[in-house]
Amino acid sequence: MFIGNLEDMFGATGRQNWVSRWTNIGDAHCLVGELNSKKGASAEAAEAWLCALTAFEVARRLVDKDDPEGKEVSAKVETGIQRLESSLDHQLERISIPCYDQTELLAYYLPAGGPDLCAPAVICISREEEPGATLLGRLLPVVIGRGMSVLVVAHDDLSNHWRGQSDMLLSCCLDYLSLRPDVDAARIGIYGEGMSAALATHFAVFDNRVAAAVCDGGAWNSVRVNASVKWITGHAEPVDEGAFSARRLRLLRQLNCPVLVVAGGRGIVSVSEAIKLKADCLGARTDLELTIPPMSRTTVGEIENFLSSDDSIFGWLERKLHTRNPCCAGRQGKSRGHR
């Protein structure tokens, strides 16, 4: 309701006032959570802390990029996660995933339930310059209760390597999930935010065990190549669209899993480019869908309704992963390798 009425609200008060107001709302929910926790009402405490995390995310979205208050709000998110842990039915884990050359990748893991559940799982990659804890804090209210586990990693921990190494690191994440008894290896998806959407596309092509991908569908690579050709040739006129359509099609045909592309908003795929992808995939027999985050136009710019967008994304993942092979097939899927 708040985000849906931002157009009217910003006319009456400034961005900073709304940051303070939503930070205070988050603090109030934390207090309610603590009181319920002391009374032994763990379910009510968890609900309050989840509300606090959502309120802090609203404040974080409203704060100016260079405002030091942004770091304070991010710190509150991490504290809120720690408070929530004591009230969860299943333990939130901070894990270190062993990778090649004795390197390790730090991640958060939230299981869907008990060790015998054998549920689907999603590898979630934060946007650039965003800690994994920040993404986790935003997603916890969305994923809890959906019957899927999530493994959250930071973009910067992957992007510091060349692309092939990033794919190998993500394969290590998938290996880790596949070996867990509470995860169905045949139902593991990938979700990338911002530039991580491009990483998710390349990984879905690299490792054929990926069962569903929320990614850019190769759009970023297509736009980047197009810009490079224009820069090298010095021609400002449009490059042959047929050639770039064929290039997009080659990549789309390598994606052997359902794909969801988030267009517009804070993502890297424009709506126009996403529509071109959708048109190309019709002839490629690729299961590709588009979702466009609702945006509110205000006097301080557009603000994305992340609540509605996240619900749409994980609703899609839930449908795609829950309709994949049953768990018995997942045990067989452990032997499948990557390209």
- SS3 sequence of 65-103: CCCCHHHHHHHHHHHHHHHHHCCCCCCCEEEEEECHHHC
Is the per-residue pLDDT at 209 higher than 70? yes
pLDDT score of 304: 84
Q: For the chain, list the domains and their CATH numbers.
A: 3-85 (1.20.58), 93-333 (3.40.50.1820)
Burial class (CB in 10 A: 0-12, 13-18, 19+), 27: middle
For residue range 65-91, what is the model confidence (pLDDT) as tens digits? 777 788 899 999 999 999 898 888 778
Helix%, strand%, coil% for the chain, nearest 5: 55, 15, 30
Comparing 14-28, 86-100, 146-160, 272-286, which segment has the lowest mean pLDDT?
272-286
Is the per-residue pLDDT at 327 higher than 50? no
pTM above 0.85, yes or no: yes
